[in-house]
């Protein structure tokens, strides 16, 4: 059919008259210059993606890094692809040139000298110079020393930069050297090196010697019972007697809240005629309990306070004894008892529904909290990521404690 149409068209324009023209007579091949080739190449380059049409140069990489640096993202980064665009972009297999534009570094993270059982933080920069989303995942299953690092997954927007804090904590002395793997879009795997030198804790004193000269007297160790001799240089020797007693030998904490510091105070009274020196023999009678001060002097006819601090980390009932030694006298015993109660706080609403709120206006949803425990409870509302919301407590409330 096509050939019949072509023959019909040729028959309409051709005839038997010869006008003397020869095919391709007088036609010359055009001469192309280098400028014409460069112009034609530049016009074609605008129609395709720059990442596929030409090689990356140092200037291009520097310009991409500058744009990404000014678009640092600190909030709102998803850990997993959620939108359709993010899922489509993060499932792509990137080319070598595209991977060169996703910068994860530095490649060597040196924590330096870190004390054991302490925490040190270094930042890992995630830079996306592409025009699409990329998904970066860090793998720390084989490195328990970095388990406190979070979050380990980032969906980076186009032309953006984020920071991942790496937290190092270890209880082993010596050199620490690990290779940490990460993936880009779950297809491309690479790694960064982490190293540190874990050293023991070293405390330095401001001076190696302290000289105290309160009076020209010495306290020899040949005193017996509740008396001892005070020898004054170039003077006589006087015999001293000290006596101290607790105002209450049973210190009751009652019900104290879990992970909430509580303090109880006992008082030492000196009914003797000379100063009395005391020392707490068991400063840490229970986990989370500490007695302060560890030692001191009760003046004649005066008193001194001994505080018992409790910051419990578990629910329990406790009944322990704290021994307080007196110089050249019989030790005193302070009994400490109580119970640790878990928090039990109820809120009367399941969710906060504000419905429609006009721009520039405000709307409140009242709610109440009820402490069903016998101990004090502290309630904290973290609205740091929701700056449009605030909580107003009534004047008689404790600002978050119920």
Which domains, ranges and CATH numbers included, belong to the chain? 84-199 (2.60.40.10), 242-341 (2.60.40.10), 345-402 (no CATH)
User: Which alpha helices (DSSP H) does 46-138 contain, by range?
Assistant: 50-53, 58-69, 84-90, 96-99
- When pLDDT is averaged across residues 267-274 and rounded to a whole number, the result is 80
| Cβ contact 122:166 at 8 Å | yes
Q: What is the mean pLDDT of residues 248-266?
A: 81
DSSP bridge partners of 201: none
pLDDT for 101 beyond 60: yes
Quick one: pLDDT at residue 34? 60
Q: Which of 110-124, 179-193, 304-318, 342-356 has the lowest mean pLDDT?
A: 342-356
How far apart CA 244 and CA 269 sit, in angstroms, is 6
**Lowest mean pLDDT: which of 187-191, 243-247, 308-312, 395-399?**
243-247
Residue 219 has pLDDT above 60, yes or no: no
Residue-level pLDDT at 214: 39
Cα 319 from Cα 333, distance rounded (Å): 13
Q: Comparing 279 with 228, which gets the higher pLDDT?
A: 279
**256 phi, psi to nearest 5 deg:** -120, 150
Does 268 score more than 90 pLDDT? no
Report the range out of 58-62, 186-190, 223-227, 315-319 with the highest average pLDDT. 186-190
pLDDT of 74 > 60? The answer is no
pLDDT at 36: 59
What is the distance between the alpha carbons of residues 371 and 346, in angstroms, rounded to a whole number?
7
- 194's CB contacts (< 8 A; 6+ apart) are 109, 111, 143, 146, 166, 168, 176, 177, 178, 179, 180
∠ Cα 377 383 388 (to 5°):
140
Question: Where is 184: in which H helix or E strand?
Answer: strand 174-184
Which residues are paired to 255 by β-bridges? 339
Q: What is the pLDDT of residue 138?
A: 93
Q: What are phi and psi of 124, to 5 degrees?
A: -110, 120
Q: What is the pLDDT of residue 229?
A: 58
Predicted confidence band of residue 182 (pLDDT cuts 50, 70, 90): very high
Q: In the predicted model, is pLDDT for residue 102 greater than 80?
A: yes
Q: How much is the average pLDDT of 256-272? A: 84
Q: Using 50, 70 and 90 to split pLDDT, how confident is the model at 202?
A: confident
| CA 211, 212, 217, 219 torsion-angle sign | negative
Give the single-character DSSP code of 146: G
**Highest-pLDDT range among 128-132, 225-229, 385-389, 392-396:** 128-132
* Residue 387 in tokens: 């700056």
Q: Which residue has the higher pLDDT, 307 or 375?
A: 307
Give 191 or 352, the one with higher predicted confidence. Answer: 191
What's the confidence (pLDDT) of residue 269? 83
Whole-number average pLDDT of the chain: 77
Is pLDDT above 90 for 193?
yes
Which pTM value belongs to this model? 0.39
Higher pLDDT pick, 58 / 79: 79
- pLDDT class for 353, splitting at 50, 70, 90? confident
pLDDT score for 70: 54
Per-residue pLDDT, averaged over 144-169, amounts to 90
Task: Tell me what pLDDT residue 73 has.
Answer: 63
Which pair of tokens denotes residue 334?
């302070």
Instruction: Please tell me the predicted confidence (pLDDT) of residue 270.
Output: 82
């Amino acid at each position: 059919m096509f050939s019949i149409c072509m023959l019909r068209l040729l028959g309409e324009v051709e005839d038997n008259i010869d006008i003397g023209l020869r095919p391709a007579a007088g036609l010359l091949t055009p001469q192309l210059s280098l400028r014409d080739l460069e112009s034609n190449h530049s016009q074609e380059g605008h129609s395709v993606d720059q990442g596929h049409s030409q090689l990356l140069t140092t200037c291009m990489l520097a310009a991409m890094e500058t744009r990404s640096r000014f678009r640092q993202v600190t909030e709102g980064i998803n850990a997993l692809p959620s939108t359709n665009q993010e899922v489509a972009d993060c499932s792509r297999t990137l080319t070598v040139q595209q991977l060169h534009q996703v910068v994860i570094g530095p490649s060597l993270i040196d924590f330096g000298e870190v004390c054991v059982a302490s925490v040190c933080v270094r930042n890992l920069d995630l830079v996306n110079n592409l025009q699409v989303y990329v998904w970066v995942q860090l793998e720390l299953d084989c490195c328990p020393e970095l388990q406190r690092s979070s979050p380990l997954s980032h969906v980076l927007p186009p032309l953006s930069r984020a920071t991942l804090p790496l937290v190092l904590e270890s209880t082993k002395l010596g050199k620490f050297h690990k290779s940490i793997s990460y993936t880009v879009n779950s297809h491309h795997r690479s790694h960064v090196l982490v190293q540190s030198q874990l050293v023991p804790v070293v405390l330095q004193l401001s001076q190696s010697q302290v000289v105290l000269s309160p009076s020209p007297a010495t306290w020899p160790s040949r005193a017996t019972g509740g008396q001892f001799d005070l020898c004054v240089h170039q003077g006589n020797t006087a015999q001293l007697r000290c006596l101290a007693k607790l105002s209450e030998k049973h210190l009751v904490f009652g019900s104290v809240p879990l992970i909430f510091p509580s303090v109880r105070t006992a008082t030492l009274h000196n009914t003797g005629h000379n100063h009395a020196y005391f020392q707490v023999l068991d400063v840490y009678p229970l986990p989370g309990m500490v007695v302060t001060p560890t030692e001191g002097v009760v003046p004649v006819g005066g008193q001194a306070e001994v505080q018992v601090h409790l910051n419990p980390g578990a629910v329990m009932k406790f009944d322990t004894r704290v021994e307080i030694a007196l110089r050249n006298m019989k030790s005193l015993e302070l009994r400490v008892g109580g119970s640790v109660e878990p928090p039990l706080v109820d809120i009367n609403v399941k969710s906060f529904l504000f419905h429609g709120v006009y721009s520039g206006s405000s709307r409140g949803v009242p709610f109440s909290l009820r402490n069903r425990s016998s101990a004090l409870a502290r309630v904290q509302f973290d609205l740091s990521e929701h700056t449009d919301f605030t909580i107003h407590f009534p004047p008689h409330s404790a600002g978050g404690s119920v």
